[in-house]
Amino acid sequence: MNSPSIGRRLLPASAAFATAFVGVLALAPRGNDDGRDLVPVIMATRSLSDGTSADVVRDAVEVRMVPASVRAEGAITSPDSLPEGVLAYDLVSGQQVLATAFAASRVRSLGEGYVAVSAKLDPQRWVGALLEAGRIVDVYDTSETGPQRVAARAVILQSPDTADLEPSQDTLVSLGVPEASLADVLLAIANNRVWLVGR
């Protein structure tokens, strides 16, 4: 038997093998490194507390490529697409950042029933609590009859710079207080009797 006739007999088998091999390759699972079916999302690279401004969030996220099936609805795809405002809830490292994570202002991020007020306080009225944005405090009215709590779980919205603060120097403090406590808090502010106690 000559070589040309052997080649002609093996040609159909070779073609069938090649077709099957290509089919197996087509069905084989592909790794994520080929970029197919991956979409961009931004994820937090560290924990961020509610009330954090969008500018700070922008420096604490990165773009990652994930399968389309795991991208959350409303996930932001670029740091440049972050809305203005502040975080409405805490984020943890590795969490996808959603458009719904932002509120227009710090007091809005506290939820329904809070309003913003400001008071001038000297440092002694902080009562041993480091005054910083996001800190939860109780508000007391130090009237002649004795201190009385007028608001529970108020939140520091804006913290003063304490680096060069003198012991008797008044500073403006912004608070988010429950709306139901507003009248009593305003009375304490008007009479310069506000005292903050950290939780």
The answer as to whether 163 is a domain residue is: yes
Pair (118, 182) in one structural domain: yes
Query: What is the CATH classification number for the domain harbouring 102?
Result: 3.90.1210
Residue 148 confidence (pLDDT): 94
**Residue range of the domain that includes 130:** 111-198
What value does the mean pLDDT take over residues 63-92? 87
Model confidence at 91: pLDDT above 90: no
Pair (120, 183) in one structural domain: yes
What value does the mean pLDDT take over residues 76-105? 84
End of a domain among 107, 123, 143? 107
Identify which of 66, 64, 42, 70 has the alpha carbon closest to the alpha carbon of residue 54.
42
Structure-model confidence comparison of residues 85 and 180, the more confident one: 180
Least confident of 16-30, 54-68, 119-133, 143-157: 16-30
Pair (193, 117) in one structural domain: yes
Pair (91, 128) in one structural domain: no
End of a domain among 47, 73, 107? 107
Pair (103, 116) in one structural domain: no
The answer as to whether 45 is a domain residue is: yes
Residue 110 confidence (pLDDT): 73
The DSSP result for the chain, as a single string, is --HHHHHHHHHHHHHHHHHHHHHHHHHS---GGG-TTEEEEEEESS-B-TT-BHHHHHTTEEEEEEEGGGSPTTB---GGGPPSSEESS-B-TTPBPBGGGEESSHHHHT-TTEEEEEEEE-GGGGTT----TT-EEEEEEEETTEEEEEEEEEEEEE----TT--TT--EEEEEEEEGGGHHHHHHHHHTT-EEEEE-
The answer as to whether 154 is a domain residue is: yes
The answer as to whether 159 is a domain residue is: yes
Pair (182, 133) in one structural domain: yes
Residue 150 confidence (pLDDT): 94
Pair (73, 120) in one structural domain: no
Q: What is the pLDDT confidence band of residue 164, given thresholds at 50, 70 and 90?
A: low
Pair (95, 136) in one structural domain: no
Pair (82, 144) in one structural domain: no
Model confidence at 158: pLDDT above 50: yes
Pair (75, 42) in one structural domain: yes
Q: Count the domains in the chain.
A: 2
End of a domain among 92, 107, 122? 107
The answer as to whether 6 is a domain residue is: no
The answer as to whether 185 is a domain residue is: yes
Pair (46, 74) in one structural domain: yes
55-76 residue pLDDT tens: 889 999 999 999 988 888 888 9
Identify which of 75, 76, 158, 85 has the alpha carbon closest to the alpha carbon of residue 121.
158
Highest mean pLDDT pick, 9-23, 74-88, 154-168: 74-88
What value does the mean pLDDT take over residues 1-22? 43
The answer as to whether 22 is a domain residue is: no
Pair (43, 84) in one structural domain: yes
